[in-house]
Structure 1
């Protein structure tokens, strides 16, 4: 055998450059894909990091929810308080209305009772004076009956001089109150009014009706003149006096119910009269 004889080789045939380049390109592509996948892996993991931070967001949200709940509770409390206040105000208004109605009813009842008492007192006073006059008339043999006759005549002439001043003063006090012991200027008792009337003309009368009924000259009720002093009861123990103003009229401070009034002699006929002027 020749030394130069061809010996078969077991090496694989050398690949061509194009195939080598192709394989290199494929390998590079795979490696690039792996690299891209590796790079994409960490980028997609960032939401995990944000999820770890969620407790901070949840904590802030809890605080806001708690504040909102507290505000809602406060509003509810305010509404409840307002409702209670409105209910209390309505209840107070109802009570006040009821109390006012009761006060009005009570006032009306008292007014009616006062009117009834006034009427009763006036009737009692008239009855008392009638009884006194009857007793006095009986003790004097009936002489009083002629004085109370409806045919009796009274002087209706106009007052003059001092009598006119007395009459004018007495009439000016009509409507004033009656007060026991009253001597004016806006409240009187019977003798206080008569005394003040005569004081205007310089006549100083005694203070009480008993003494006034004997001060001056006794005159008949059939011959009265303006300015005469009328009295009820007997002379020296009279329980009431007034001023005769003419025309069958007198002015007197009667009682606490009527006050100072002008009346006809027929309203409450006097027992006697005295003339001072």
Structure 2
């Protein structure tokens, strides 16, 4: 045994690692506890006294609300007035346009009516003039025809021979037959149908209508008529009636539906002219 073994060491005994760890843990726990407590205290303080900021909004009074409502009504009324005015303007423009068109149409109708009246007046005046001319010409022609017919009665030949005699005999034999437009015998005739049929008796073919028969032969004077000559009324080429001179100032013709085929003196209905075919 050492002589120092029973002497205590003057140095402090070493602490074990486990003891240090325990103490460190205790200290750490204490510090943690303090930290948690501090945090909790801060949190509690925060909850106990929250920070609050209040914003004060203006309050609408009854007068302001009324003014706003009145302003809205006024705006709406103004808009309605503008719309109504626009409609009135459009209607006025449309009415003015229609009135202008109606006026133009009325003027055109009035002008057309005026022209039509003027045309009718001129035509009436022209007709009156033509009628007056016809009256004068007819009177002149009648006078001339009467004079020539009277002369024919004195100077014209009254004896018929040959073909002329046959034609005269035929037309005289048809006196009393009926007048029918377009008829050529044997029971009825019209004026040109009687003349055409009479000349067929001697083998002469004449045109069917009076206009053509009035130019079928040689024009002769009414003062130099011979039996068998064709008499016509109207102008040559446009005659409206024909008959046959039978001598002694007499003619035979299919006059009209009232008289039928008759024998009459030239003075009864003086002809305008005559043609000689034989």
Q: TM-score w.r.t. structure 1 length?
A: 0.49
Q: TM-score w.r.t. structure 2 length?
A: 0.48
Larger of the two Rg values belongs to structure? 2
